[in-house]
Amino acid sequence: MKIQEELAALMETVTDAASAEAAIAKLGPIAEKFAIVAKAAKDMDQKLDPEVDAKLKELLKPSQDRLSAAMEKAMPVISKHPEIAQKMQDAMSRMAPKP
């Protein structure tokens, strides 16, 4: 999924506090798009037959894996700085699907 790739690419840039701050600054538009996509996916998930759902999950797996790896690598950097961690948490919370 393109939005996951965008987020992964952004998180892959996090190597220190300065790059984490820069990533957070760029996260807003991605978070907004992610929330829209997440809501659509949630709504669609309830209507898909299991076979189509399984195929979609298979197609999304590479981008999800990349995003997971990027987050895993970035989190130790982010967690060393409580103020940055809070900003990241706030930014990530905007990705939740809107009701």
Q: What is the pLDDT along the chain (99 residues), one digit of tens a residue?
A: 788 999 999 999 999 999 999 999 999 899 999 888 888 888 877 788 889 888 888 988 999 999 999 999 999 999 999 999 999 999 999 988 877
Residue 98 lies inside a defined structural domain of this protein = no
- Overall number of domains in the chain: 1
Residue 78 lies inside a defined structural domain of this protein = yes
Q: What is the pLDDT of residues 9-35, one digit of tens each?
A: 999 999 999 999 999 999 989 999 988
CA distances from 98 to 1, 5, 11, 40, 82 (A): 19, 21, 23, 10, 27
CA distance 96 to 58: 22
Burial of 88 (0-12, 13-18, 19+ CB in 10 A): buried
Which pTM does this prediction carry?
Answer: 0.83
Domain residues for the domain of 48 are: 2-93
CA distance 18 to 59: 34
Whether residue 28 contacts residue 91, with contact meaning beta carbons closer than 8 Å, is answered with yes
Residue 24 lies inside a defined structural domain of this protein = yes
Residue 99 lies inside a defined structural domain of this protein = no
Residue 12 lies inside a defined structural domain of this protein = yes
DSSP 86: H
